[in-house]
């Protein structure tokens, strides 16, 4: 198998990642030879089932969870929808109040808005200039009818890592369930469900060198979450549908690989990230970093340049073979400024000139140097200097 490495400079690992050779190789047999349906009794079915259970073990091990606490889904969006709508529905008798933050992914925000249309009440916590929620504010927001707190682990746009440990403790004290969207954090930083008091956690394979269209929801033993996709008895009767065997196998392999040498990879990425942040702010005037300086995902750099339009900058970067993002991959243009950047109160002259660069395990110092050169030249161009 030949390794097809992307030829340009890929600085958009928060949007998606390239599948690794090992992941592709692990998936291959389940696309043709071992095509069996895992719900059948003959050998092909057994093989598919065994493969799914091996993957479940790999995911469970990565979180120090039990295999029975891992449910496979079609990705981060489904996991988020399931956790929010599932718990809201199941606990309707207890109450109809949910707490989240203003900077969640749309999979959470739009699920919450949907619930609001059904009569639920949602509190959207503000964040400070670093993108952090306040745990005091969170505690004050909890009411007798609060059933769920959903706050992300690490933010996809600005990289800020939320105080998950503290949020979980507060949720437990008040008997409220806590879900975290860990799509950006899982497989990038160590997460143990023995250590973190989270009840549910979402992740997605394509964010950590696995295939697209597969993810999982961790649900702590004893948390009663209803089925989201109704049908057959797959996934302990909680998520119907013939399993995406190859996808699940690929995700298991990707998780296993991610756990290998994670600390070393984190150190390296953090070092390169800091290098990029320093270089960009030193070499380009009127540039400011968004998000928390240290409580931040290893590979995330979000930077705003005063007086320019970020979307135009992205086009110029693309001409230099550099892939970067604006706020998020899914802003449709009714506003030039991302809601995350807005929620953090980034000054107006900077907000529209925001670019996100997210590094990965293969990013090199040379690529960062080239990216900064391009940024320098193109920001200057856009400023008409």
Ligand X SMILES: *Cc1c(COP(=O)(O)O)cnc(C)c1O
Q: Give the nearest distance from C-beta 209 to ligand X in angstroms.
A: 13
CA 333, chain centre distance (Å): 22
Q: Is 370 in contact with 9 (CB distance < 8 Å)?
A: yes
Residues in the site for ligand X, rule: CB under 6 A? 75-77, 80, 105, 107, 152, 156, 181, 183-184, 204, 207, 215
**In terms of CB distance, is 151 or 152 closer to ligand X?**
152
Burial 131-159 (b: 16+ CB within 10 A, else e): bbbebeebeebbeeebbbbbbbbbbbbbb
Length of the chain (residues): 385
Q: Give the nearest distance from C-beta 76 to ligand X in angstroms.
A: 2
**In terms of CB distance, is 74 or 378 closer to ligand X?**
74
**In terms of CB distance, is 134 or 328 closer to ligand X?**
328
- Residue at shortest CB range from ligand X: 76
CA distances from 262 to 54, 266, 282, 337 (A): 21, 6, 30, 34
Helix/strand/coil (H, E, C) string of 203-245?
A: EEHHHHCCCCCCEEEEECCCCCCCCCECCCCHHHHCECCCCCH
CA 365, chain centre distance (Å): 25
Q: Give the nearest distance from C-beta 108 to ligand X in angstroms.
A: 7
Choose the catalytic residue: 96, 112, 323, 330: 330
Q: Give the nearest distance from C-beta 207 to ligand X in angstroms.
A: 6
**In terms of CB distance, is 138 or 183 closer to ligand X?**
183
330 tagged catalytic: yes
**In terms of CB distance, is 109 or 219 closer to ligand X?**
109
Helix (H) or strand (E) holding 304: strand 300-305
Q: Supply φ then ψ for residue 365, to 5 degrees.
A: -60, -35
- Helix (H/G/I), strand (E/B), else coil: 355: strand
- For the chain, how many helices (H) and strands (E)? 13, 12
Helix (H) or strand (E) holding 345: none
**In terms of CB distance, is 207 or 239 closer to ligand X?**
207
Helices 310-319 and 365-382: crossing angle in degrees, nearest 10, is: 130
Q: Give the nearest distance from C-beta 215 to ligand X in angstroms.
A: 5
Q: Give the nearest distance from C-beta 12 to ligand X in angstroms.
A: 11
The CB density around residue 306, as the number of other CB atoms within 10 Å, is: 17
CA distance 299 to 274: 9
Which residues are marked as active site?
A: 330
């Amino acid at each position: 198998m030949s390794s097809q490495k992307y030829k340009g400079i890929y600085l958009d690992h928060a949007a998606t990642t390239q599948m690794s050779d090992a992941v592709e190789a692990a998936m291959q047999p389940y696309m043709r030879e071992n095509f069996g349906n895992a719900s059948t009794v003959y050998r092909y079915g057994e093989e598919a089932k065994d493969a799914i259970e091996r993957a479940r073990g790999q995911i469970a091990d990565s979180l120090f969870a039990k295999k029975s606490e891992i449910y496979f889904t079609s990705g981060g969006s489904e996991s988020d929808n399931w956790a929010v709508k599932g718990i809201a529905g199941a606990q309707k008798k207890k109450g109809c109040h949910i707490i989240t933050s203003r900077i969640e992914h749309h999979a959470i925000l739009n699920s919450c808005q949907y619930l609001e249309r059904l009569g639920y009440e949602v509190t959207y916590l503000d964040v400070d200039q670093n993108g952090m929620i306040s745990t005091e504010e969170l505690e004050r927001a909890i009411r007798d009818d609060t059933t769920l707190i959903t706050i992300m682990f690490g933010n996809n746009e600005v990289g800020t890592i939320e105080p998950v440990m503290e949020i979980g403790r507060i949720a437990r004290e008040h008997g409220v369930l806590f879900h975290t969207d860990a799509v950006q954090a899982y497989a990038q930083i160590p997460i143990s469900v023995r250590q973190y008091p989270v009840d549910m956690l979402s992740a997605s394979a394509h964010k950590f060198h696995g295939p697209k269209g597969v993810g999982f929801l961790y649900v702590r033993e004893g948390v009663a979450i209803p089925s989201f996709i109704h049908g057959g008895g797959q996934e302990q009767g909680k998520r119907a549908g013939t399993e995406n065997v190859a996808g699940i196998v690929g995700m298991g392999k990707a998780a296993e690989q991610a756990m290998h040498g994670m600390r070393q990879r984190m150190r390296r990425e953090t070092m390169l990230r800091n290098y990029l942040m320093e270089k960009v702010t030193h070499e380009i005037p009127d540039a400011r970093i968004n998000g928390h300086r240290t409580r931040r995902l290893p590979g995330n750099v979000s930077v705003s340049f005063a007086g320019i339009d970020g979307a135009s900058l992205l086009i110029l970067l693309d001409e230099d073979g550099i892939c970067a993002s604006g706020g998020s991959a899914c802003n449709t243009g009714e506003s030039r400024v991302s809601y995350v950047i807005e929620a953090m109160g980034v000054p107006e002259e900077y907000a529209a000139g925001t670019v996100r660069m997210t590094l990965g395990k293969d990013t090199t110092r040379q690529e960062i140097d080239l990216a900064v050169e391009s940024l320098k030249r193109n920001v200057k161009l856009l400023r008409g200097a």
